[in-house]
Amino acid sequence: MSKQKGGRNSDNFIMLPTVDFCFKELMQNPKVRKGFIAAILGKAPETIRRTTLVPTALRKESEEDKLGILDVLVELEGGAKMNMEMQVSYFDCWTNRVLFYLGKIYTGQIKEGEDYDKLRKCIHVSILDFVHFPKDKKCCRKIVFCDAESGEQYTDLMELHILELKKLPPEDQSEDGLIRWMRFLRGKSRKEFEEMAKKDEYIEEAYNELKKLSLDEQKRLEYELRQKAVRDHNMMMKSAEKRGLEIGEKRGLEIGEKRGLEIGEKRGLEIGEKRGEKRGIEIGRKQGERIALKRIVENQIKAGKSAEETAELLGLDLQEVKGLAEE
């Protein structure tokens, strides 16, 4: 049994492209980069003449952000820019964030006093392993500025591509290049990667690069550190969410009980103070519990869970879950 340097078993280990470190390393390969960008733009790879990597620093959302964002910035022929990001965990304000950074890339092309005609097209590609558009099954979309009434495109100077890996349809032999790439990016094993590599020479190059990266001791260490950082970040976010739900539920019960007592006291003038107080507390408790349950359902759906999965998880009736989500 072969072992790589440091005593690690290298037979089965393979890096996963959904880890942003791995994705960024894959994009260092010119052929891989060309194949993926061609698929995004809907062009033949041989028509993509230039894809120059632009150095990017680890971007922080705030001073407290210990994770940071690993993105890939590429300059295409003619000066157009393409920014690509892999995001595995649900991000509440993804749209706002993407528009903010796309705007920064666009405006960063010129300095004060320079002419606007120097501005070139900027594209942002979001590769998401969570559901961003829950109302449909479309797994990839292109978004541009359009006239609200006619639908006519106003300009192509700013463009968004959003790829939702979790919404990939069942495999089809006739699927196009972008769907193939999305399937590759979400691959989980050598066997999956090997099968996909047989269908596309650029994906084959990506798989070969993946194997090289997985055998590189230093790259593997960086990959595992990044994977741990992402895992720790997600755990911290889940803990904060759980704590927030507990506080919200407690506060909801307190408000509900207080309101219930007020109602109970008012009705107590008619049917007796004791009976009114008891009824008020019960109403308040139920209201508080429903508010808390509604928040839990909403968070589960935002995290990509279906109504059926949420109902099973919480032990609720499916119609009740749908009702809570629509309130």
Helices (H), strands (E): how many in the chain? 10, 8
Whether residue 265 is predicted with pLDDT greater than 90 in this model: the reply is no
pLDDT class for 6, splitting at 50, 70, 90? very low
- Secondary structure E strands in the chain: 3-4, 8-9, 51-54, 71-76, 81-87, 122-128, 140-146, 153-164
Per-residue pLDDT, 273: 60
Per-residue pLDDT, 53: 95
Burial of 73: CB neighbours in 10 Å, binned 0-12, 13-18, 19+? middle
Per-residue pLDDT, 305: 79
* Token pair of 286 as six digits: 């139920």
Euclidean distance between CA atoms 256 and 280, whole angstroms? 9
- Torsion-angle region of 151 (φ positive above 0: left; ψ -120 to 50: alpha; else: beta): left
Q: Helical H runs in 133-272?
A: 177-185, 190-197, 201-215, 217-271
Whether residue 307 is predicted with pLDDT greater than 90 in this model: the reply is no
pTM, two decimal places: 0.69
The pLDDT tens digits for 194-228 are 999 999 999 999 999 999 999 999 999 999 998 88
The pLDDT tens digits for 156-193 are 999 999 999 999 999 887 888 999 999 999 999 999 99
Residue with tokens 């990266």: 213
Handedness of CA 120, 148, 141, 101 (dihedral sign): positive
Whether residue 27 is predicted with pLDDT greater than 90 in this model: the reply is yes
CB 53 within 8 A of CB 28: yes
The pLDDT tens digits for 101-125 are 999 999 999 999 999 999 999 999 9
Per-residue pLDDT, 284: 65
The pLDDT tens digits for 47-104 are 999 999 998 876 555 555 445 677 999 999 999 999 999 998 888 889 999 999 999 9
Per-residue pLDDT, 240: 64
Residue 84's DSSP bridge partners are: 72, 125
Amino acid 157 reads L
| CA 43 to the chain's CA centroid | 25
Q: How many residues does the chain have?
A: 327
Amino acid 270 reads E
Domain boundaries, the chain: 3-215, 241-326
Per-residue pLDDT, 60: 59
Taking the alpha carbons at both ends of the chain, their separation in whole angstroms is 58
Euclidean distance between CA atoms 161 and 29, whole angstroms? 21
CB 50 within 8 A of CB 91: no
The pLDDT tens digits for 124-160 are 999 999 999 999 999 999 999 999 999 999 999 999 9
